[in-house]
Structure 1
Amino acid sequence: MQVGFIGLGNVGGKLAGSLLRNGVDLTVLDRKPDLVAGFAARGATAAGDAAALMRGCDVVATCLPSPAASAAVVEEMLPEVAAGKTWLEMSTTDDAEIRRLAALIEARGGAAVDCPVSGGCHRADTGNISIFAGCDRATFERVLPLLKLLGRRVLHTGPVGSASVLKVVTNYLATANLVSVCEALVTARAAGMDLNTAYEAIRISSGASFVHETEGQVILNGSRDISFTMDLVAKDIGLFQAIAERTGVPLEISPLLNEIFRDGRARYGPRALSPNIIRRLEEATGLDIRAPGFPPELIDDEPEAPGHEVAPAGAARPVAAR
């Protein structure tokens, strides 16, 4: 199987690296020539454009920063789509837009899967990230061997668009937890608590969370480096708010989070690392929320292992019609 990958940024480059590391015949494309050259030096083939990539590959994955970027790439690839071609959309995107683009792919005989990832860049780098996959069951079973090379836990979420909804839901929860972790650490420090002790108290208690144990470490280190920026957070929580408005859910926390990150982007710039949202509280209190002994970046110390499908709790794993 010839696989193409478009978008070699913070997440996409690590996902594509997992394919290359596992011996997949890989062709790559990115608007930054140095990223393409780095993959070519490791054995990948460089593509000239998106149309050529789709023409020469059985499966093309995209991991791009915005719905508009994904739409532009699909429009370029579309004339080369035919029966037997599959598009994997691994970006975090709008569910309505992914359904629109999937319909274009399917109209030409191809298959489309929205399969965003969750778990952080450090897990994308080791193949231990989680993957949501929205598509019909037969397509899911066809692409599952490839998804199991890209990630550890793979969940079939339902039809195209469902994975994108759930990805936005999980990113909203992570953002809400990031802001609450920032508030907790600043308040603990203001109350005179040792931050190393405060971190450990939260970690072993009912306040524990994935965000605290990962992003909390680089916040306390001072690097705030999770390879994710405020503009991307703003996009994701904006998509979540849009779903709520479309479905008539009167949210209370979400509008406040959107305002917090609008202010963060205005203060520190759209490309500021997202944990730097804590600087709003550091500046307001005059406190320095750093502590010794924490790493400057996240490293996944879980050994890489073969991926597997995850069945929803309380539900039998579905099978494709034969």
Structure 2
Amino acid sequence: MGGPMTGHLARAGHKVTAYNRSAARAQNWRDAWTEEGLDVDFAATPAEAAADADIVFTCVGNDDDLRSVTLGDHGVLSAMKQGSVLVDHTTTSADLARELAALAADRGIGFVDAPVSGGQAGAENGKLAIMCGGEAGPMSRATPVMDCYAARIVHVGPTGAGQTAKMANQFCIAGVLAGLSEAIRLSQAAGLDLEKTYEAISGGAAQSWQMNNRWQTMVADEFDFGFAIDWMRKDLGYALDEARRLGLSSPVSALVDQFYAEIQAAGGGRLDTSALISRLPKGENR
């Protein structure tokens, strides 16, 4: 997702220096942007990419990945100048967001935890939803730049609030996909016209992004795209941990996480989250 977001920054006229931990992916992006005529420099390390930048954006996989590009001699925090802002678009634990904010503050650097929702399509189309945590100053500086690839930016609250809002987002998605999977199987077993059923229920209270964007592909057993189950389980892990820390029970999300674990164990970790339906038998058409 970081690649399309970088492209939007360059198209908007920002001076951009990029870094990717995979040399092959970096070259692929370099080739694509050169072909498009975009001016994007490439750095050999995160620190090199961050040197002299006013705003640094990170978008990687998990807590460990984020630590690898922010901390240490080659991490961005080692090279960022005072008064700059670090914006993290990774979905991480709220604890790591608070840890990085404190380390950044010690160096006179602002920090915004800003996980995104909208998937690959949202990144490519510049229509991501961004939920943010942090202080007002860094937030006000980052917002006009994030506008390059966002449809909605909401400052939810203090540091960590963006990550916690993303956890709530993932709980919602897990529950919706579980219900949607069962609804499709019911419709199939009853012999309903699935297009007509979708038309009927998508106009009422059951409507959701998942229904609008995944109903047809779930019916067709197509899952080789979208947001991978491996990443969803990572996100749900952070969310379930945070819920437990707050003394909460999250039985529906915990159950869906177990269902995803079954699909992972069968080799489906890279399938889209809508593959949740694949563990349900189609039943008898009556």
Q: Deviations over 1:136-175 (max 9, x none)?
A: 1122111121121121211111111100000111122012
CA offsets per residue over residues 111-136 of structure 1, 9 Å max, x none?
11101111232122121221112111
Matched to 2:120, the amino acid is: C
1:262-290 deviations in Å (ceiling 9; x for gaps): 11111133223322221111xx33689xx
Match of 2:262 in 1: 263
Residue 70 of structure 2, aligned match among 55, 58, 74? 74
Tell me, yes or no, if structure 1 residue 31 matches structure 2 residue 21. Answer: yes
Where does residue 59 of structure 1 map in the other structure? 55
Between the aligned partners of 2:166 and 2:100, the Cα distance in structure 1 is: 18
Closer, same or farther: CA 21–222 of 1 in aligned 2, 3 Å: farther
Describe the shift of the 1:225–1:18 C-alpha distance in structure 2 as closer, same or farther (beyond 3 A).
farther
**Contact 2:51–2:81 (8 Å) recurs in 1:** no
- The offset of 1:52, in angstroms, is 0.6
Aligned to 1:16: 6
Distance 1:111 1:38 in 2: 31
Counterpart of 1:108, as a letter, is: R
Q: Map 1:63-142; keep pairs closer than 5 Å.
A: 63-75=59-71, 76-142=75-141
* C-alpha distance 251-222 of structure 1, shift in aligned 2 (>3 A): closer
Aligned to 2:43, which of 25, 44, 47? 47
CA distance in 2, matches of 1:122, 1:221: 20
Q: Let me know the Cα RMSD of the aligned residues.
A: 1.8
| Higher-RCO chain (CA-CA 8 Å, sequence separation at least 6) | 1
Q: Is the 8 A contact 2:126 2:151 kept in 1?
A: yes
> Which residue identity does 1:128 align to in structure 2?
K
Q: 1:223 to 1:23 in 2, by over 3 A?
A: farther
The separation in 2 between residues aligned to 1:269 and 1:222, in whole angstroms, is: 13
Q: How far, CA to CA, are the matches of 1:206 and 1:264 in structure 2?
A: 29
Displaced runs of 4+ in structure 1, greater than 4 A?
none
What's the CA shift for 1:81? Answer: 2.8
Query: For residues 77 and 119 of structure 1, what CA distance do their matches in structure 2 show?
Result: 26
Q: Normalising by the residue count of structure 1, what TM-score does the alignment of the two structures yield?
A: 0.81
* Cα distance in 1 for residues equivalent to 2:221 and 2:256: 22
Structure 2: distance between partners of 1:270 and 1:38 = 24
Structure 2 gaps, min length 5: none
Instruction: Name the structure 1 match of 2:166.
Output: 167
Indicate the structure with greater helix content.
2
Count of equivalent residues: 276
* Per-residue deviation, 1:82: 3.0
Q: Is the 8 A contact 1:116 1:133 kept in 2?
A: yes
Q: Distance in 2 between matches of 1:243 and 1:24?
A: 36
CA contact (8 A) 2:116 2:129 kept: yes
TM-score by length of 2: 0.91
Relative to structure 2, which stretch is displaced further, 37-46 or 225-234? 37-46
8 A contact 1:47–1:53 mirrored in 2: yes
2: distance between equivalents of 1:25 and 1:277? 41
Q: What are the ranges of 5 or more consecutive residues in structure 1 without an aligned counterpart?
A: 1-10, 289-322
Cα contact 1:111–1:139 (8 A) shared by 2? yes
CA distance in structure 1 between the partners assigned to 2:201 and 2:40 by the alignment: 44
Paired-residue identity, %: 28
Specify the SS of the correspondent of 1:87: strand
1:277 corresponding residue in structure 2: 276
Name the CA distance, whole Å, in 2 between partners of 1:112 and 1:170: 22
Residues in 2 aligned to 1:56 and 1:218: alpha-carbon distance in whole angstroms: 45
| Contact residue 5 and residue 124 of structure 2 kept, 8 A | yes
- Which residue number corresponds to residue 8 of structure 1? none
